[in-house]
Copies of this chain bind each other. A is one copy, B any other.
Amino acid sequence: MQDEGSLCHSSFATPPYTCRVASSSNIPRPTIKRLSLYLRSLESHQPAGTATVSSRQLGQSVGITDVQVRKDLGNIGQLGQPGIGYQVEALRGELRRVLKTDREWNAVVVGVGNIGSAILHYPHFGSKGFRIVAALDASPDRIGQRIAALRVQPMADLPAIVAEHDVRIGILAVPAEAAQSVAAEMTAAGIQGILNFAPIRIDVGNDAEVASVDLSRSLEQLAYQVGIGD
């Protein structure tokens, strides 16, 4: 009875298939989501002693059948050894390569309210290859504040920051009313992927990919499941 949080990716929602995903990748969407699950399992609580892991073990650790694991992994290449399993180290590398976390991703946080500053303090990004290089806000009161080793900068600095640090990803944590227009600023500055925390759909056309985290919707889904009996 485990459910993933609702991160409605834009490609899942768009009716005209404007997303450039279509041709470039023949890996099914559900598989991609599970790959990051496998990677997380391999990265965190995998005993250092084991050099090898079976599809059953891996599946058990993330709550998925062994067949599904093999199908998923078979989807990105032939990585296993019959009778043995998968080499943990090699598999990790391959997953990182496929998911593009074998490189450094520079990101900015836009909006340093509650959620924005929580993100800035979130410790798990660094180890996954994501580095937050700047924090920005529109409110003059907040500019200059220090949050988690960063000084809050004005929105006007965005294009320069993006250019200087090769920022591709922006974390959007502004109030819903401002989200759409700030998202436009971000794409205009050259940002290609937006992680949106505002509870509203933002439309950036083909300029960027959007993934959303909507806390209210997550709670709603949970309430639905809990209340299913009545």
A binding-site residues for B, Cβ under 8 Å: 1-11, 13-15, 20-21, 24-25, 32-33, 36-37, 39-41, 44-45, 59, 61-65, 68, 98-101, 103, 105, 107, 114-115, 117-119, 121-122, 124-125, 128-130, 168-169, 176, 192-195, 199-201, 203, 206, 208-229
Contact = CB atoms under 8 A, between A and B. Distances in A.
Contacts of A6: 33, 36
Contacts of A115: 118, 122
A124 B199 contact: yes
Nearest to A130: B219
B20 A217 contact: no
Given A4-B212, A226-B169, A218 B201 contact: no
Contacts of A3: 209-212
A72 to B, nearest CB: 13
B119 A224 contact: no
Given A24-B228, A44-B200, A99-B224, A37 B8 contact: yes
Contacts of A213: 5, 213, 215, 218
Given A7-B218, A114-B121, A213-B215, 7 more contacts: A5-B211, A32-B221, A37-B201, A100-B226, A119-B215, A209-B226, A213-B218
